Amino acid sequence: MTKDKEPIVKSFHFVCLMIIIVGTRIQFSDGNEFAVDKSKRGLIHVPKDLPLKTKVLDMSQNYIAELQVSDMSFLSELTVLRLSHNRIQLLDLSVFKFNQDLEYLDLSHNQLQKISCHPIVSFRHLDLSFNDFKALPICKEFGNLSQLNFLGLSAMKLQKLDLLPIAHLHLSYILLDLRNYYIKENETESLQILNAKTLHLVFHPTSLFAIQVNISVNTLGCLQLTNIKLNDDNCQVFIKFLSELTRGSTLLNFTLNHIETTWKCLVRVFQFLWPKPVEYLNIYNLTIIESIREEDFTYSKTTLKALTIEHITNQVFLFSQTALYTVFSEMNIMMLTISDTPFIHMLCPHAPSTFKFLNFTQNVFTDSIFEKCSTLVKLETLILQKNGLKDLFKVGLMTKDMPSLEILDVSWNSLESGRHKENCTWVESIVVLNLSSNMLTDSVFRCLPPRIKVLDLHSNKIKSIPKQVVKLEALQELNVAFNSLTDLPGCGSFSSLSVLIIDHNSVSHPSADFFQSCQKMRSIKAGDNPFQCTCELREFVKNIDQVSSEVLEGWPDSYKCDYPESYRGSPLKDFHMSELSCNITLLIVTIGATMLVLAVTVTSLCIYLDLPWYLRMVCQWTQTRRRARNIPLEELQRNLQFHAFISYSEHDSAWVKSELVPYLEKEDIQICLHERNFVPGKSIVENIINCIEKSYKSIFVLSPNFVQSEWCHYELYFAHHNLFHEGSNNLILILLEPIPQNSIPNKYHKLKALMMQRTYLQWPKEKSKRGLFWANIRAAFNMKLTLVTENNDVKS
């Protein structure tokens, strides 16, 4: 987060390099469709099978020794050609006469000694540096390169008017390779460069700086020197060399790459540049040799705004820490960067300092840095990334006397919180705090600046955000990615929160009311969490659908189910669960209502279809079949003459003679009827007993008329007596019409008992049901019987 807040000055260190990009951007402008990479292939000549539409061709780092017209002529659309790091010794520019669109040509790091000129007007980037030219390879035809931005050259000797043919061109970048430059001692050469924004000079990497040449450049804005080797003896030679280059008022940016020097000489260079118009001084890859002693330095009025030193190698092991650190701590500039160095400390300025920006990334500072330092009163940005800080409480104390501090970056340390019981003390001016990549836990939320607006806590050990924390009402942006949080934090303590980054945590069931509690949220990044796609997540997904896609960063690609297994990898946007499956109360009510409706429906159907009657009749039929199978053999061997004796009231004779008797006789069942089979001369009682004893079954047709018949009750009495006497079960009761219980006289208690204890067959009024009635009758006679006639004939 703090990178967005850092002053623009840090990126200004690369202003000169940006000018190169203007020229080199051509190589990417035509896309990848027609780009051909033949680098590092061991080529000794240009391949003949290149696509005709090739626009970008890279043949660097091969063994090509020469170029011919035929190598390039068929590539009429070529715009970028890289031939660096080959073995080309002679270049005839006419080989490119058919490449009218060629804008970028890199021939650096070859063995070129001579070029043959040819009119070429399309070049924007021409690099002939790091070759073996004795003099600068300038053709008069180069004066026609009106679009030329970058020009790289090599030379062993210089002459003042070498660049006269291109003096009228306004170049953005000139690279001059002087590694092989040689001149006799005490001789001085000169070179005039009229128009160039950036000049980059490269010297021999291992030789002491001894170049005595006066180079003057008009409109020079950036100067970069590479491979500077100094000691106390040749230091003045280097300063003299700089005198002419730094004379102009337009030079704002000065960069030294790969410089080896004594501490004394480095301080002298600083002192020389202090009154110069340079505003940004950058030193990369600095090696300090010999000794470090206290040196006098006059901090006069200066236009220098920023000093950047990255990667220092200190070959001096015994030295005065004060001598080294004082030079930097007392500088009267606005911005100081010393990164990737072995510095273990930095002194507090003696007097109120002008520093507004301090960057000490990747040093070995400890918690004692700037302890009780009250002179950094103007400091606005402090960066202490990648150091040895361990105690967040002490970091807070450090800021107490920095009243202007707004941005603090202490990421990539070993900071811990919760060591102290006292409340943390912070300067109230801090609005941006980067605490990422430390060892902080939940307690960090009790040790934060009260007016902070941007807080970065990603890559720590935070498991939850405590409910009872100091309210950070000004907090607008919170980054807690790559922790172990299990839920989205509410905005109760962060009423102004508008940006939340919480991806790569352990959030499985985010709170459904998150968006309701965070009304000001304009950006949230919560993807790459192990979401459990269960009922608890349903409301959260539902709320997401109501949020703009611009608010939810990474949606839907980064939001996927992790559990259950059947949903793993599925996007949350495709996860849906019904209200019924997630609401237990609703589920119970729904099941109850369904069962009630089902019961009512079944009852209605039973009533409508008279299902109880069917069930009763089926049960009777089943029981009758079972009883028939269990009849003892000795009973069957009785001398029987009839299958059934029918007892009925005369008032029901019409039904008996028209329905019952015809059906039974049709089934070959021998029927005994009183009017047909009673023996004349015998008493009625004797005939009844005789018929019952000679019949396998006794059928009683019950009706209100039966109840009123005296003889019917006699017949029933004797049949019932025979039932108990022989232990058989030969009664068949047919209910022709319903008989109310209260209509049966008390003296006929046996009838009451039988109707209560035994099942009976009810004659159905509906014809559709009579089939089942007759089936039950047939079931009662399913046993094959042997009947004996009066003449003792056996009849089956």
389 contacts: CB under 8 Å, gap ≥ 6: 365, 366, 367, 369, 395, 410, 413, 414, 415
State how far the Cα of 170 lies from the Cα of 148, in Å rounded to an integer: 8
Asked if residues 375 and 399 have their Cβ atoms less than 8 Å apart, the reply is no
Q: What is the pLDDT of residue 545?
A: 75
Q: What is the mean pLDDT of each run of 10 residues along the chain (796 residues)?
A: 44 48 43 82 94 95 95 94 96 93 96 92 93 93 93 92 90 94 77 89 94 86 96 94 88 96 96 94 96 92 95 90 93 96 92 96 95 96 97 95 97 91 90 97 92 96 84 92 91 89 92 83 92 84 79 88 86 78 72 86 72 55 52 55 85 86 86 84 76 83 78 63 56 82 66 69 84 83 55 48
Q: Would you tell me how many other CB atoms lie within 10 Å of the CB of residue 403?
A: 14
In a domain, 338, yes or no: no
Q: What is the pLDDT of residue 717?
A: 61
Q: How many domains does the chain have?
A: 1
Cis bond upstream, residue 564 (ω within 30): yes
In a domain, 213, yes or no: no
611 contacts: CB under 8 Å, gap ≥ 6: 605
Asked if residues 716 and 750 have their Cβ atoms less than 8 Å apart, the reply is yes
232 contacts: CB under 8 Å, gap ≥ 6: 262, 264, 265, 290
Domain that holds residue 748: 642-780
Q: What is the pLDDT of residue 647?
A: 84
Q: What is the pLDDT of residue 353?
A: 95
State how far the Cα of 499 lies from the Cα of 478, in Å rounded to an integer: 6
**For helices 263-273 and 321-329, what crossing angle results, to 10°?**
10
First-last CA distance in the chain: 110
In a domain, 583, yes or no: no
In this structure, what token pair is assigned to residue 102? 């060629």
Q: What is the pLDDT of residue 619?
A: 59
Residue 225 sits at φ, ψ, to 5 deg, of -120, 135
In a domain, 651, yes or no: yes
State how far the Cα of 315 lies from the Cα of 262, in Å rounded to an integer: 10
Q: Within 13 Å, how many C-alpha atoms sit on residue 768's CB side? A: 5
State how far the Cα of 36 lies from the Cα of 57, in Å rounded to an integer: 5
CATH number for the domain that contains residue 752: 3.40.50.10140
In a domain, 717, yes or no: yes
Token look-up 């269990």 returns 630
In a domain, 505, yes or no: no
DSSP letters spanning 326-351: HHHHT---SEEEEESS-----PPPSS
In a domain, 727, yes or no: yes
Q: What is the pLDDT of residue 612?
A: 66
One-letter-per-residue 3-state SS of 361-428 = CCCCCCCCCCCCCCCCCCCCEEECCCCCCCEHHHHHHHHCCCCCCCEEECCCCCCECCCCCCCCCCCC
Token look-up 């701590």 returns 329
In a domain, 544, yes or no: no
Q: What is the pLDDT of residue 22?
A: 44
Q: What is the pLDDT of residue 506?
A: 93
